[in-house]
Amino acid sequence: MNNPLLLISDLPKFSLIQTKHVLPAVQVALDECRKEVSKIINKKSQFSWENLCQPFLEIWYLGGTKSKIIQSIH
């Protein structure tokens, strides 16, 4: 799928983004977040900032970045 919301670049390609791209991009982002959360919580080690909190912050940041792009086009 050629979805500009799924491309990684410094700046979003706003001129290419269409409403039909939003739902697939959100679904991909949620799937990626679910996979990362599963990896984190299934670790067999004691949780710490480095192996629990920091990865959650990174996941939250990536999801937030994508949602801000979507919000700015609507």
Q: In the chain, what is the straight-line distance between the N-terminal and C-terminal CA atoms, in Å?
A: 22
pLDDT of residue 6: 85
pLDDT of residue 24: 92
When pLDDT is averaged across residues 5-21 and rounded to a whole number, the result is 85
Write the pLDDT tens digit of every residue in 19-66: 899 899 889 888 988 898 898 889 888 988 888 888 888 877 766 666
- DSSP collapsed to 3 states, 11-74: CCCHHHCCHHHHHHHHHHHHHHHHHHHHHHHCCCCCCCHHHHHHHHHHHHHHHHHHHHHHHHHC
Domain ranges of the chain: 46-73
- pLDDT(70) > 80: no
